[in-house]
């Protein structure tokens, strides 16, 4: 899937992503400030999360419950220095739990990512819109 969108259209894009039936572990790639966390907020809302969602930059992981009692883990590994730190916080248990895992800065833990995952790459275009690719 490939789509160009403005941030005003992010809820529609979130719905389109879910309609693609991605794997439950999803990597979100893109530069700082491109909208990864904003997209994750839209996805969790579309999935029925009523709690406030935010970036887990300092806690490394936030846990959300959907209205249908599904668990979503949202990771931000930006502050990690190495994969050992991720292992120390139990990242492997989360990633292989069978629950949804939305991962920002997954390139910091390449050896821990399950083989069965999807990747969303977001790139800022010159007109302020975003190019999203779901693989």
Which residue in 93, 33, 101 sits closest to 71, CA to CA?
101
Name the phi and psi angles at 65, rounded to 5. -115, 135
Per-residue DSSP letter, 108:
G
Q: CA 50 to CA 133: how far, in whole Å?
A: 27
Whether the per-residue pLDDT at 94 is higher than 70: the answer is yes
The CATH number corresponding to 2-134 among 3.30.43.10, 3.40.50.300, 3.40.720.10, 3.10.20.30 equals 3.40.50.300
Q: Are strands 130-134 and 118-124 parallel, antiparallel or unpaired?
A: antiparallel
Q: Report the pLDDT value the prediction gives residue 57, as an integer from 0 to 100.
A: 65
Q: Report the pLDDT value the prediction gives residue 8, as an integer from 0 to 100.
A: 96
Under the banding of pLDDT at 50, 70 and 90, the label for residue 58 is low
Average pLDDT, the chain: 95
Where along the chain do its domains lie?
A: 2-134
Task: Give me 113's structure tokens.
Answer: 């990512």
Task: Give me 90's structure tokens.
Answer: 């139990």
């Amino acid at each position: 899937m490939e789509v160009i969108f403005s941030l005003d259209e992010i809820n529609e894009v979130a719905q389109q992503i879910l309609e693609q039936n991605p794997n439950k572990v999803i990597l979100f790639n893109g530069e700082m400030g491109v909208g990864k966390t904003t997209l994750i907020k839209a996805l969790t809302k579309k999935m029925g999360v009523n709690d406030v969602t935010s970036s887990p930059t300092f806690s490394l992981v936030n846990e959300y419950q959907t209205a249908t009692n599904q668990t979503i883990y949202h990771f931000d590994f930006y502050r990690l220095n190495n994969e050992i730190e991720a292992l120390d916080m139990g990242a492997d248990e989360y990633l292989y739990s069978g629950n949804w895992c939305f991962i920002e800065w997954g390139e910091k833990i390449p050896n821990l990512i399950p083989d069965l995952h999807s990747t969303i790459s977001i790139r800022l275009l010159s007109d302020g819109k975003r190019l999203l690719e779901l693989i």
